[in-house]
Amino acid sequence: MLQAMCDNWWAFVLRGVLAILFGLAAFAWPGLTAAVLVMFLGAWFLVDGVFGLIAAFRSEEDRMMGILSSAISIVAGLMVLVKPLAGMVAVTIIIGVWAIFKGVLEISAAIRLRKEMENEWFFILAGALSIIFGAVIILRPGAGLMAIVWILGFYAVLFGILMVVLGFKLKGAKAPAAA
């Protein structure tokens, strides 16, 4: 895994640069960022639900579970698109859960690689930042979308910086030969 990360160091740098650009856009246009974020999420739920429904009807197994899951996604998408403010609490919780899950995965990867990788604490710090961000969002859903956009902007910039640094550290690293 470490060798693959070293070989693809540029992907970490690119991921970091894109995160930084997104964070700066969130600061420059918070209202637009909030509106676009909510509309994209609603559209994604709707499209995911429709395609999930198609897959469920084509499936021989667990058809009812697929239909139920798809129906929930379609209803959530319509709710967010028709009443974006009413869907905001759901959006904040989804963002929070996503960030926590992402952070746990990042920390887990860093722990698995700590004997093979120097400066794994960048990866751990990025994961911890994700978990803290997610927890704040879940605990304060009523704080408003603008607060989420600003927090998301700070998170994206800090995460991006850490990923760029990690990418350049990986560029110079060599994975130990397999024994």
pLDDT at site 32 = 83
pLDDT at site 142 = 62
Among candidate residues 145, 157, 126, the one with its CA nearest the CA of residue 24: 157
Per-residue pLDDT of the chain (179 residues; tens, 9 = 90+): 778 788 888 888 999 999 999 999 989 988 788 778 788 878 988 998 899 888 888 877 778 888 888 888 898 889 888 987 767 777 778 878 888 999 998 899 888 888 887 888 888 999 999 999 889 888 877 665 677 788 889 999 999 999 999 999 988 776 565 55
pLDDT at site 114 = 82
The C-alpha angle with vertex 59 and arms to 57 and 63, in degrees rounded to 5, equals: 65
The C-alpha angle with vertex 155 and arms to 11 and 77, in degrees rounded to 5, equals: 90
Domain boundaries, the chain: 2-38+85-172
pLDDT at site 162 = 94
pLDDT at site 144 = 57
Sign of the dihedral defined by the CA atoms of residues 160, 161, 164, 170, in that order: negative
Predicted TM-score of the model (pTM): 0.53
**CA dist list (Å): 171 to 46, 80, 98, 116, 134:** 40, 42, 28, 14, 30
**CA dist list (Å): 177 to 3, 73, 105, 114, 174:** 9, 46, 25, 15, 9
pLDDT at site 21 = 94
pLDDT at site 14 = 94
Give burial (CB, 10 Å; 0-12/13-18/19+) of 94.
Answer: middle
